[in-house]
Structure 1
Amino acid sequence: MTKQVLPLIEKIPQTILGFLESSPSYWSSSLSKTTQAHACILKSGAQNDGYISAKLIASYSNYSCFDDANLILQSIPDPNVYSFSSLIYALTKSKLYSQSLGVFSRMFSRGLIPDTHVLPNLFKVCAELSAFRAGKQIHCVACALGLDGDGFVQGSLFHMYMRCGKMGDARKLFDRMPERDVVTCSALLCGYARKGCLEEVVRVLSEMESSGIEPNVVSWNGILSGFNRSGCHKEAVVMFQKMHHQGFLPDEVAVSSVLPSVGDSGRLDIGRQIHGYVIKQGLLKDKCVISAMIDMYGKSGYVHGIIKLFEQFELMETGVCNACITGLSRNGLVDKALEMFKLFKEQKMELNVVSWTSIIAGCAQNGKDIEALELFREMQVAGVKPNRVTIPSMLPACGNIAALVHGRSAHGFAVRVHLLDDVHVGSALIDMYSKCGRINMSQVVFDMMPTKNLVCWNSLMSGYSMHGKAKEVMSIFESLVRTRLKPDFISFTSLLSACSQVGLTDEGWKYFGMMTEEYGIKPRLEHYSCMVSLLGRAGKLQEAYDLVRKMPLEPDSCVWGALLNSCRLQNNVDLAEIAAEKLFDLEPENPGSYVLLSNIYAAKGMWEEVDSIRNKMESLGMKKNPGCSWIQVKNKVYTLLAGDKSLPQIDQITEKMDEISKEMRKSGHLPNLDFALQDVDEQEQEQSLWGHSEKLAVVFGLLNTPEGTPLQVIKNLRICGDCHTVIKFISGYAGREIFVRDTNRFHHFKDGVCSCGDYW
């Protein structure tokens, strides 16, 4: 306290003075006492004393009254370091880091020099904000003041560099430290592990050994966690083995940290060894260990291990249950996962957002799209709020079955809870709208996104490609090239697929060459498949076959399948037989190749060969996948199978089909019997054509929706030429927009015309 203010202090009641000298926790327990003290200080005229004002600032700050504290600081004509440091400390403690840095800036502009108490707080602030530049500047100030040798300053500065990921600066500071302890060394080890620097980790461990500093379990756990987080799974496994070989007994944290890496690196053998160690050490009761073990078995494809572990774990715990659901779904056992999830609900388990998201994602990824949408509805009814992971997990289900109403609902939810800034949500919405036939909405979502990553660009390109809009895909690609993002192999897959949809062979060859020459991307099998399809569909079958034979990679089923499909379009039996034989060898249990070759024979009237193929399928126990279409009517998705006569409205559907058939004949349209792939008379062939699932779905939609309403149909197989002709006619005759998505692309029928231009 200054000598000039001592007489004034004597006028302040002793209770107030005692209050000012009391502990901060006492101040913060009573705001009224702080305001009383402030009033007395103002009456006495002692408010300009730096010591008293600093005490008041600290008192108000500890009660989170930062505006009052700041006003006092501004009113002091000649504040000292302690006045500022009190507010800096309190703001930092309350995690108001930007404000804390602002107060320091004001302090420094007044020419006040920070001390060894202020500097550690400032470095903590910079670490939390990842404000490396500001931290570096404050470091320079500390060096100029000769305070950089202080132990507390060094420690906080070191951790600041670590948090900012500046391992080089952290290492320089570490090397200058006169005394190092296991805590500092452990932090350095963890930092290098997070960067994936195995050699540096080994070097620091060696330096610790030569300095007599022995790493502890925390050191090893930091290494394992760091490598796991950085995606260096093999390194994590190596260090775990090193830890064990050096005599350290891994605890539950170490085991939980390394198991994800074991699963990601596919080392099931090591995973089983760790399982044995866990049993010996009695760690099987730890829920984190069990969850990590189940996750590891799931990633390794060892389903038996998942089920066995779950049965052994006595406590039904949410994290363990979530790991089971994810593990089973990942391995295609979604029915088992659903059964388990139902059991959890029946037992009144506290299912969280991860639980619901896991089962929704599992259903969407395994063809259980309707179940995924129903679970999403149940989740909201249960009062569990979807998050930025849930929405992208369920949107694919909407796209898969063109459940546009559900997709729009999810979009609305994302808007309400401010999730549209998330690139994963945005990409999923772009994909969903394009698969639901609303490519214009995909563009709207893309345009509204504040930030876009490569996944967003690829999603939009893929959507336009699916709709056969090659010019738009090429334009988007040019826009992508002008950004700082670099196209990847997925970008070129969309480009080549778009060229294939409309027969742009010259452009296809240009982009195919550009991949390697300009971007250093080696063509993958999917790129060759697109090129084979492009050439084959354009009538250049021999050129397509030559490309297959000259491939530097071994052609897979997609490449040969593209050639076989092209043979179907061009009615080329010789090449079809070559491609089919290759497919029979590569996928002996896939009936699709047999069916496609059979159809090629049937289109040529080669009925003996058709019978031979069908007999072979029968002897192998194969069955043709039936044509299936989906249509959404009044928020419900209906499934229609080819030739299904058990539909509830089959009489009305048949009557409507007869009406359309008569109108088509009046207009000169006759059935294309080339697509009636049965050796029966003409009338039966025509009837079989009208039994195709996409026709059933469209007519079902006409009967059950208001006039003028757009119809949307999803087909599990490629749309046939006769159905294409019929649906074109219906779009003009009934005045409907009809969207049909088959396995190849989208067809948008309107006013008797299709968006594909009859090239598909």
Structure 2
Amino acid sequence: MHPSTSQTELNPVTPTSTFLHQLTRHSQQRNLKAGRAVHAQIIRAGASTCTKHANGLVNLYAKCGHLPKAHSIFSSIISKDVVSWNSLITGYSQHGGLSSSRTVMQLFQEMRSQDVLPNAYTLAGIFKAESSLGSCTVGRQAHALVVKMSSFGDIYVDTSMLGMYCKAGFVEDGLKVFAFMPERNTYTWSTMVSGFATRGRVDEAIKVFNLFLREKDEESDSDYVFTAVLSSLAATEYVGLGRQIHSLTVKNGLLVFVALSNALVTMYSKCESLNEACKMFDSSDDRNSITWSAMVTGYSQNGESLEAVKLFSRMFSAGIKPSEYTIVGVLNACSDICYVEEGKQLHSFLLKLGFENHLFATTALVDMYAKAGCLEDARKGFNCLQERDVALWTSIISGYVQNSDNEEAMILYCGMKSEGIIPNEPTMASVLKACSSLATLELGKQVHGHTIKHGFSLEVPIGSALSTMYSKCGSLEDGSLVFQRTPYKDVVSWNAMISGLSHNGRGDEALELFEEMLAVGTEPDDVTFVNVISACSHKGFVERGWSYFNNMSDQFGIVPKVDHYACMVDLLSRAGQLKEAKEFIESAGIDHGLCLWRILLSACKNHGSCELGAYAGEKLIALGSRESSTYVLLASIYTVLGRMRDVERVWGLMRANGVSKDVGCSWITLEKQCHTFVVGDTMHYRIEEIKDLVRLVSRPMMEEGFTTVLDSSHVEEGTQLVLS
């Protein structure tokens, strides 16, 4: 402590006005250490009960981020005035976050219950806190007070109220406030433009911007408004408009503002004009971390993930400290190209920078780990945050769905609902996908009810997810009804319905729907042809399947992938054309790994073609198959052929390669209870009834020519299997 400071601040006879002056100065400078010294002086002087001193201390601790201490001093004030309430309300309001904003609402209710009349500062704090909550319940009450108190016309209050309505999505209410404001500043204009921009209402944002250009003063700061209108241009069709606004910024000499340069980089990136974004980035003389972040994110969002990682490396080498948004951009890039090790390095860097509790950064981290299949790491990141938003919940739920842990995804969704987090469309799409994979129709119907409750329409992605869910659960009528009511059917919607019909034995209708899809002008994609060829396979339409396979590339320019080759092998195999299937596999100009030989081996088992089955099985083992079914089927084929030495060799290879047999699992839902059955598990509470029923139906089945296995043992060495 400097000597002069010590002499001034520790003088026990310092007058009240000096205390207040010092507290105000230290609050403005966020100088907590010096402020605490003044606090000690006030206590020694016995002046801590003075309301003015207490207000100053509340203001000091609140502005320095020590809200619990500020709240404690506030609670000890005997005669609270409006300044007391304002100091604490403003502190919590400026701190932000859901918890602080909820505290502001509680304080306001307490203030009103004690008949303390709020002033402009109180109301501004209320409106700011409501903005963070995305709600207007208490804010509308405060709005009524503004009218009642004739406070309308205070630009500070009006602009805060406008921000509340716009951020909560009530743009029309915000527009009414905006229209009646007697005075507007650049922040007011930028708030109104941003209100329309964030709701995707670009035309209205442009209209307000044009009105601003006509009414603005020559000397007024325009950069905030220009930045706001540029943020609304986030699609390819707006790039021309973005160029015009770019020209205006040059004409008005606004490119000196780095925030505006950053907005231009972001605008060009979102409009998929990366070349112009790069030019803007390269021409910027005063790049900050936001500039680098905008370009990194631009590369990532435009599918240039490797370039995003390279640019981040350049940024790191240049000694530029990244913001949390830069980290988010490069984490998303690592997620897209499965750079797990690089992602882990970024995780360490994130911890070093102190961003571990930042919501956006943690959400990107969870998403990266989940997409890479590292669910344990993703869950740790998710668990480390106490305040979770819908984006974080969606990332972790989607991660479990993508990794086929659908039960856990549903448990998480229930947890999200219990915490009062309202899901968005991507959340519901992921949950519906989990229901599809679990084939739980009743649960799917409940989730459908949730989509209606939350006001989601049947447009993409909800409509297609619902069609898929109903189709996979075998309820084609409901799936068809959803499909018919979907207002705009994209290729995903058509694919969902075609797939549902195909997999539920209605291949003819699936192919008819495909022709209808072409007739209305919807361009098929690679998934469409997987579904169509699969439908041909189930119906035995070999020639038609060949036609669709050839038309993929000839007519639609779609290069066949492994899935399409697999469907063709399945088509030929089901039709009994096993030799043709073998020739097709060996002529395939694509790296298919084990997939195609596996299909052929299974088909040979079904058709009793032992020699060709042995050929396919040996191919799989030579390619390093780790699936137990390969060894089991090949051993059974050799058993039928009487080649017992080969049977022993196959079992030996299985042991040597460390391949274990997969445990079978099935489940069924009865009366809202899911019953799971695992091979060898005798713990089900009705196991004796199940065994009795199996014995009861076994004899009639055997009389009909079926082969049954009465125990849960796996196929062992020397066990003879029947291929027919």
TM-score (norm: length of structure 1): 0.62
In the alignment, what sits opposite 2:634? none
CA separation of 1:424/1:264 partners in 2, compared to 1, >3 Å: closer, same or farther? closer
SS of equivalent residue, structure 2 residue 79: helix
Which whole-Å deviations, capped at 9, do the CAs of 1:141-181 have from their partners, x for residues lacking one? 235xxxx5xxxxx446445445543444666899758xxxx
In the alignment, what sits opposite 1:124? 59
In the alignment, what sits opposite 2:584? 685
Is the contact between residue 264 and residue 277 of structure 2 (CA under 8 Å) also seen in structure 1?
no
Q: Specify the code of the residue in structure 2 equivalent to 1:513.
A: Q
Identity fraction in percent:
16
| Aligned ranges 1:519-530 → 2 under 5 Å | 525=458, 529=464
Question: Do residues 622 (structure 1) and 556 (structure 2) align?
Answer: yes
Distance 1:687 1:615 in 2: 18
Question: Do residues 554 (structure 1) and 486 (structure 2) align?
Answer: yes
Is the contact between residue 396 and residue 432 of structure 1 (CA under 8 Å) also seen in structure 2?
yes
Distance 2:409 2:312 in 1: 33
In the alignment, what sits opposite 1:405? 341
**Which structure exhibits the higher relative contact order, with contacts defined as CA atoms closer than 8 Å and separated by 6 or more residues?**
1
Which whole-Å deviations, capped at 9, do the CAs of 1:275-331 have from their partners, x for residues lacking one? 333433466983323222222344896332111111232243432222123223334
Is the contact between residue 429 and residue 445 of structure 1 (CA under 8 Å) also seen in structure 2?
yes
Among 234, 237, 248, the residue aligned to 1:312: 248
In the alignment, what sits opposite 1:142? 79
Cα displacement (A) at 1:435 = 1.7
| Aligned ranges 1:733-748 → 2 under 5 Å | none
Distance 2:143 2:384 in 1: 48
Distance 1:617 1:350 in 2: 50
Q: Specify the code of the residue in structure 1 equivalent to 2:293.
A: T
Q: Specify the code of the residue in structure 2 equivalent to 1:276.
A: N
Distance 1:367 1:397 in 2: 8
Cα displacement (A) at 1:468 = 1.9
In the alignment, what sits opposite 1:466? 402
Q: Specify the code of the residue in structure 2 equivalent to 1:142.
A: S
Among 26, 30, 37, the residue aligned to 1:95: 30
Which whole-Å deviations, capped at 9, do the CAs of 1:83-104 have from their partners, x for residues lacking one? 9879866764653559957975
Distance 1:100 1:394 in 2: 41
Among 270, 283, 302, the residue aligned to 1:366: 302
In the alignment, what sits opposite 1:347? 283
SS of equivalent residue, structure 2 residue 242: helix
In the alignment, what sits opposite 1:638? none
In the alignment, what sits opposite 2:701? none
Distance 1:727 1:429 in 2: 43
In the alignment, what sits opposite 1:425? 361
In the alignment, what sits opposite 2:189? 255
In the alignment, what sits opposite 1:326? 266
Distance 2:269 2:305 in 1: 13
Distance 2:559 2:322 in 1: 36
Cα displacement (A) at 1:564 = 2.0
Question: Do residues 588 (structure 1) and 513 (structure 2) align?
Answer: no
Distance 1:124 1:258 in 2: 31
| Aligned ranges 1:379-528 → 2 under 5 Å | 379-446=315-382, 455-474=391-410, 476=412, 484=419, 488=423, 493-501=429-437, 504-505=438-439, 507-510=440-443, 512-513=445-446, 516=449, 525=458
In the alignment, what sits opposite 1:38? none
Distance 1:350 1:375 in 2: 17
CA separation of 1:560/1:339 partners in 2, compared to 1, >3 Å: closer, same or farther? closer
Distance 2:601 2:158 in 1: 64
Q: Specify the code of the residue in structure 2 equivalent to 1:289.
A: V
CA separation of 1:171/1:87 partners in 2, compared to 1, >3 Å: closer, same or farther? same
Distance 2:282 2:37 in 1: 54
CA separation of 1:561/1:95 partners in 2, compared to 1, >3 Å: closer, same or farther? same
| Aligned ranges 1:220-259 → 2 under 5 Å | 220-243=158-181, 246=182, 248=183, 250-259=184-193
Q: What is the Cα-based RMSD across aligned positions, in Å? A: 5.2
Among 252, 264, 273, the residue aligned to 2:198: 264
Q: Specify the code of the residue in structure 2 equivalent to 1:124.
A: N
Is the contact between residue 224 and residue 236 of structure 1 (CA under 8 Å) also seen in structure 2?
yes
Is the contact between residue 736 and residue 751 of structure 1 (CA under 8 Å) also seen in structure 2?
no
Distance 2:265 2:662 in 1: 42
Among 172, 194, 207, the residue aligned to 1:273: 207
Cα displacement (A) at 1:121 = 0.8
Among 92, 115, 136, the residue aligned to 2:50: 115
SS of equivalent residue, structure 1 residue 389: helix
Is the contact between residue 535 and residue 544 of structure 1 (CA under 8 Å) also seen in structure 2?
yes
Cα displacement (A) at 1:436 = 1.8
* Runs of at least 5 residues in structure 2 that lack an aligned partner in the other structure: 93-103, 131-135, 603-614, 628-656, 667-724
Among 123, 139, 154, the residue aligned to 1:188: 123
SS of equivalent residue, structure 1 residue 302: helix
CA separation of 1:191/1:301 partners in 2, compared to 1, >3 Å: closer, same or farther? farther
Cα displacement (A) at 1:388 = 1.9
CA separation of 1:134/1:256 partners in 2, compared to 1, >3 Å: closer, same or farther? same
SS of equivalent residue, structure 1 residue 349: coil
Is the contact between residue 581 and residue 600 of structure 2 (CA under 8 Å) also seen in structure 1?
no
CA separation of 1:587/1:732 partners in 2, compared to 1, >3 Å: closer, same or farther? farther
Is the contact between residue 570 and residue 599 of structure 2 (CA under 8 Å) also seen in structure 1?
yes
Q: Specify the code of the residue in structure 1 equivalent to 2:270.
A: R
User: Could you tell which deviates more after superposition, 108-117 or 568-577?
Assistant: 108-117
Which whole-Å deviations, capped at 9, do the CAs of 1:112-165 have from their partners, x for residues lacking one? 5533652441342364345574365344x235xxxx5xxxxx446445445543
In the alignment, what sits opposite 1:544? 476
Distance 2:284 2:663 in 1: 52
State the structure with more CA Rg. Answer: 1
Distance 1:570 1:688 in 2: 31
Distance 1:730 1:378 in 2: 47
CA separation of 1:569/1:450 partners in 2, compared to 1, >3 Å: closer, same or farther? same
SS of equivalent residue, structure 1 residue 441: helix
In the alignment, what sits opposite 1:25? none
Which whole-Å deviations, capped at 9, do the CAs of 1:721-740 have from their partners, x for residues lacking one? 759999999997576999xx
Distance 2:616 2:363 in 1: 31
CA separation of 1:174/1:559 partners in 2, compared to 1, >3 Å: closer, same or farther? same
Q: Specify the code of the residue in structure 2 equivalent to 1:114.
A: T
Which whole-Å deviations, capped at 9, do the CAs of 1:10-67 have from their partners, x for residues lacking one? xxxxxxxxxxxxxxxxxx9xx45x5xxxxxxxxxxxxxxxxxxxxx8553x4xxxxxx
Distance 2:143 2:73 in 1: 29
Distance 1:737 1:242 in 2: 72
